[in-house]
């Protein structure tokens, strides 16, 4: 069966520090991968999606970037965090468009 792993679970980082969040999927090949952010009390905002290695599409211009160095690995990065980057970051995968997404357990990021 397929599983999705996301880490770390929680992170407290100072303003201006770098960020790296990692997500991996097991049990499938060539998944569609997504990064979402959920700010406190708000809905899910799509940040990046990827349909293959090194194929990344950005939905929202900001100081975040994403990379997919391997088929089942998706990384979210920032060179310098802002206070507004705080939130709940969720990685998700899907096999095809019609099956919906399966989310990882999420990373709660607090920028101080």
Which residues make up the interface to another protein (CB under 8 A)? 32, 34, 42-44, 46, 49, 51, 59, 90, 94, 96-106, 108
Q: How far is the CB of 16 from another protein (least distance, A)?
A: 27
The nearer residue to another protein, 16 or 52, going by C-beta atoms, is 52
Q: How far is the CB of 80 from another protein (least distance, A)?
A: 27
Q: How far is the CB of 49 from another protein (least distance, A)?
A: 6
The nearer residue to another protein, 11 or 103, going by C-beta atoms, is 103
CA distances from 75 to 49, 63, 91, 98 (A): 11, 14, 9, 24
The nearer residue to another protein, 85 or 106, going by C-beta atoms, is 106
């Amino acid at each position: 069966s397929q599983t999705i792993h996301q880490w770390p679970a929680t992170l407290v980082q100072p303003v201006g520090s770098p960020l790296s969040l990692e997500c991996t999927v097991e049990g499938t090949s060539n998944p569609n991968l997504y990064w979402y952010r959920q700010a406190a009390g708000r809905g899910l905002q799509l940040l990046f999606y990827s349909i293959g290695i090194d194929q990344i599409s950005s939905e929202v211009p900001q100081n975040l970037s994403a990379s997919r160095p391997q088929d089942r690995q998706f990384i979210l990065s920032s060179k310098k965090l802002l206070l507004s980057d705080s939130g709940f970051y969720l990685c998700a995968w899907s096999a095809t468009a019609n099956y919906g997404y399966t989310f990882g357990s999420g990373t709660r990021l607090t920028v101080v």
